[in-house]
Amino acid sequence: MQPLASSLQGALLNRAWIQWAALGVDATVERDDAVVDPEALIALTAELGDADARLRDLSTDWCLGYGRYINGSRLRQVVRELGTPADAIGEYAATVKAAGGPTWPMATGPRADYVRRGKARLDSADSKARLRIRLRAAFGVNARADILAALLAASPRGLNAADLARVTRFTKPNIASALDALLLAGLVTARPVANERRFAVPPKVPILPGLRPPVPQADWVAIFSVALGVLRFQSRNDTSTTVRAIDARRLVNSLVARVSTERMPMPYLDAGGDEFGVAFDRWVAYLVDWLRAPARS
């Protein structure tokens, strides 16, 4: 693996360790209270698993104990968006299932060498990092919990149904049904804006004890999709500088909207020809540093 690819893989593994520890995996890592997206974390870990067997196995421990808080349908959608290889997520899901955990879509054949270590505990979901787990424990492992998480992070103007489908990765029919239930329960308000309805969490009514907006959250599906796309590209062995620069430009063009939305380091787009390959490598180095810095949610 090329040095930049190795550095980027290391930064992603470090981020995965931090987030698994925040969910209750026994690991000595830096503390970070960024809200974890558990499906995005599983998809990331499944792809990187062969690079860190201990992370793969301890995360599997967590899934055996607490995988009931994972939404299998959303996991499948997140895997599709991240482009997680079918064999990687298939083996991960099958190992969880074979060891007595939940059955998720995409399971294929389990790892033969997995041994449960019992190194994961989830005694409380009160921490900010466990927000999605807390909401799912209270409101069910369905679109309602993730809608509430999204609205807790939204501006007071709220989000419309299409926005919620995009940020939660649930289908529009699921979003519509869940919104009806949340409106009926008085946990969400709706107001007409032009030809749409915008939904919000009432600021003076806590959803759960001590839980009021705003609760900033990063879109880890978008962030991981950018980083994994770059990692796959950097892991290739190209012989032509010109072809590599052209392919790098094509990749960046496909990622730049997500990079901008998540306020990730922006590549230098004005570089031309073979120089773009140099600018791209410089951007990857900035991306590594950004991933290793404390999360910004």
Find the range with the poorest average confidence among 33-37, 126-130, 210-214, 234-238: 234-238
Q: 157-196 pLDDT, tens per residue?
A: 899 999 999 999 999 999 999 999 999 999 999 999 988 9
Dist. CA 288–CA 273, nearest whole Å: 24
Dist. CA 78–CA 72, nearest whole Å: 10
* C-alpha to C-alpha distances, 28 to 21, 22, 59, 297, nearest whole angstrom: 8, 11, 14, 21
Query: What pTM does this model have?
Result: 0.96
| Beta-strand runs (E) in the chain | 189-193, 196-200
Band the pLDDT of 297: cuts 50, 70, 90.
low
Does residue 140 have a pLDDT over 70? yes
b/e code 30-66 from CB counts within 10 Å (16+ = b): eebebbbbbbbbbbbbbbbbeebeebbbbbbbbbbbb
* C-alpha to C-alpha distances, 102 to 1, 69, 141, nearest whole angstrom: 34, 10, 13
Which residue, 256, 229, 227, 246, is CA-closest to 83? 229
